Amino acid sequence: MNDQTTPRSTDALRAAARKHLLFYGRDFADVIITRAAGAYMYDSTGRAILDFSSGQMCATIGHNHPAIRTALEKAARDVIHLDSTKLAPAVIELAEELCALLPPSLQKALFLSTGSESNEAAIRLAKLHTGGFEIAALSGSWHGMTAGSQASTYASGRRGYGPSLPGTFALPPPNAFRCPIRHCQDRCTGTCLDVGFELFDGWSVGAGAAVIVEPIQSANGMIVPPEGYLKRLKRFCADRGMLLIFDEAQTGLGRTGSMFAFESEDVVPDVITLSKTLGAGVPLSATITSDTIDADARTKSFSFYTSHVSDPMTAEVGLAVVRLITAERLADRARDLGQHLMAGLRELQQRFEVIGDIRGRGLLVGVELVEDRHSRRPAHDLMQRVTRRCLDMGLNINKAGGPNAVWRIAPPLTIEPSELDAGIGLLDEALRGCGAR
């Protein structure tokens, strides 16, 4: 057993990680992070690494923000955990202040731990309320790893685990750069939505419950739907008696330049789920719906309680996050910084043929690498080499997932313009160093 008074070497920690940590789907980077603050992480050698992914896209207001530390200290003094039927003030105040940011039809909140859980609860609500069981999601989506949310996750992790839940269906996503129905190029006409629901109607047994979508698909490569798409999706759902669930794990609470991504299209979902940006680094999620759905769910004995539903500690953090984002107008800041980031990336695109497309909104941006812009073949090998070189040079940037070569750039909303410029400069140097054209 290690003498905890003696710091362990980096090599010793790496050896222990190899021996005891179960592979979870991705390999661990060859660094040990000992400290993080603001937009930076610091490894065991003291080297600063600019974090262009906000941890797991969760550190919305930066790593180890003083407001988060204060909230954790308050919870440690007052109350950390309770029986879920006992409420602490922070839980009530978080519900009140979060719902004040949302439309009148979204005023009933359930607080859980992870995005998977919040989507699981939303799907269960939809099934109970509608009486149906069929759930449609976009191909390439990521909604979680629990049974219901994983059944509607199409980005990865589907093979080898036996049957998924019955009644799940994938709609083609509005990817204008790589149209899934081979209909358009570079400008989505929304025909994929018509085709998707025609297929759904042919497949359905008449038991539609909900469509669950990310307003901007992240794991599928930062797919931004065209104007009007989400409104048409809402109409398609209403015509079939299905609920519309927006999974705003990555887009909620300011990241896209508005408090919630659905505001950009003036369309309100029946259920919204929040997670990553709400907890800002601690495990906190929310499922929020209407008074009507809540009342119906109560009548039908809705059940979704876990050991950590309505936990006071995480609620204190969520309350601090909501208050800080609101007080410091971080959604407006994300919009302005997003324009700055996009301008810098566009300059890179002019110099490098391998940058095939740049898309996103606010501080949630995707950069797609291709072997050439004519064939649009994904440049996977180049992406891996540039990503490793970036980390060696002090920039953390990660792949969005999915079958293509797309970086997801999602720095903290508190990042400085000079830090964005520094990251773009490192990316430029890494591309040149890896021989990118």
DSSP string, 156-178: S--TTS----TTEEEEPP--STT
Contacts 24+ apart (CB under 8 A), 17-25: 25/156, 25/157
* pLDDT band with cut points at 50, 70 and 90 for residue 435: confident
Average pLDDT, integer, range 18-29: 90
Residue 3 predicted with pLDDT over 80: no
Look at strands 271-274 and 168-171 and give their pairing: unpaired
73 is catalytic: no
Alpha-carbon span 246 to 243, nearest angstrom:
10
Q: Is 142 a catalytic residue?
A: yes
The segment with the largest mean pLDDT, out of 17-31, 171-185, 273-287, is 273-287
Q: What is the pLDDT of residue 260?
A: 97
Note whether 331 and 364 are within 8 A (CB). no
Task: Look at residue 209 and tell me whether its pLDDT is greater than 60.
Answer: yes
286-325 pLDDT, tens digit per residue, is 999 999 999 999 999 999 989 999 999 999 999 999 999 9
The catalytic position among 117, 250, 270, 368 is 250
How large a percentage of the chain has pLDDT more than 70? 99
d(CA 349, CA 358): 8
- Assign domain 10-64+329-433 one CATH number from 3.40.630.10, 3.30.930.10, 3.90.1150.10, 3.40.50.300: 3.90.1150.10
pLDDT over 90 percentage in the chain = 90
Please check the confidence at residue 272 and state whether its pLDDT lies above 70: yes
| Residue ranges of the chain assigned to CATH 3.90.1150.10 | 10-64+329-433
Pick the CATH number of 68-327 from 3.40.470.10, 3.40.640.10, 3.90.1170.40, 3.40.50.1000: 3.40.640.10
Identify the pLDDT of residue 114.
Answer: 96
3-state percent helix, strand, coil for the chain, nearest multiple of 5: 40, 15, 45
Predicted confidence band at 4 (pLDDT cuts at 50, 70, 90)?
Answer: low
Q: Do residues 387 and 431 touch, judged by C-beta distance below 8 A?
A: no
User: Whole-angstrom distance between the N-terminal and C-terminal Cα of the chain?
Assistant: 51
Q: What is the pLDDT of residues 358-401, one digit of tens each?
A: 999 999 999 999 999 999 999 999 999 999 999 999 999 999 87
**Average pLDDT for the chain:** 95
- Please tell me what DSSP assigns to residue 9: P
Is 332 an annotated catalytic residue?
no
User: Is 408 assigned a catalytic role?
Assistant: yes
Quick check: 2 pLDDT over 60?
Answer: no
Which residues are CB-neighbours of 203 under 8 A, at least 6 positions away? Answer: 169
Residue-wise pLDDT tens digits, 75-134: 999 999 999 999 999 999 999 999 999 999 999 999 999 999 999 999 999 999 999 999
- Given 142, 234, 389, 407, the catalytic residue: 142
Using alpha carbons only, what angle is made at residue 258 by residues 64 and 57, rounded to the nearest 5 degrees? 35
Q: Would residue 276 show up in a list of annotated catalytic residues for this protein?
A: yes
pLDDT at 230 over 90: yes
Tell me the pLDDT band of 30, cut-offs 50, 70 and 90.
Answer: confident
Q: How confident is the model at residue 437 (pLDDT cuts 50, 70, 90)?
A: confident
**Length of the chain measured in residues:** 437
For residue 193, pLDDT beyond 70: yes
Going from the C-alpha of 233 to that of each of 49, 193, 196, the distances in angstroms are: 41, 8, 11
Q: Which residues contact 262 (CB under 8 A, 6 or more apart)?
A: 215, 230, 246, 248, 268, 269, 272
pLDDT band at 7 (very low <50, low <70, confident <90, very high): confident
Whole-angstrom CA distances from 238 to 132, 205, 209, 313 are: 14, 17, 11, 38
- Give the pLDDT band (50/70/90) at residue 5: low
Q: Both tokens of residue 33?
A: 């992070």
117, 214, 248, 294: the active-site residue: 214
How does strand 108-112 pair with strand 285-289?
antiparallel
| 117, 247, 265, 371: the active-site residue | 247
Pick 198 or 8 by higher pLDDT: 198
Which residue is listed with tokens 């950590």?
Answer: 308
Q: Which pLDDT value is given to residue 31?
A: 92
247 is catalytic: yes
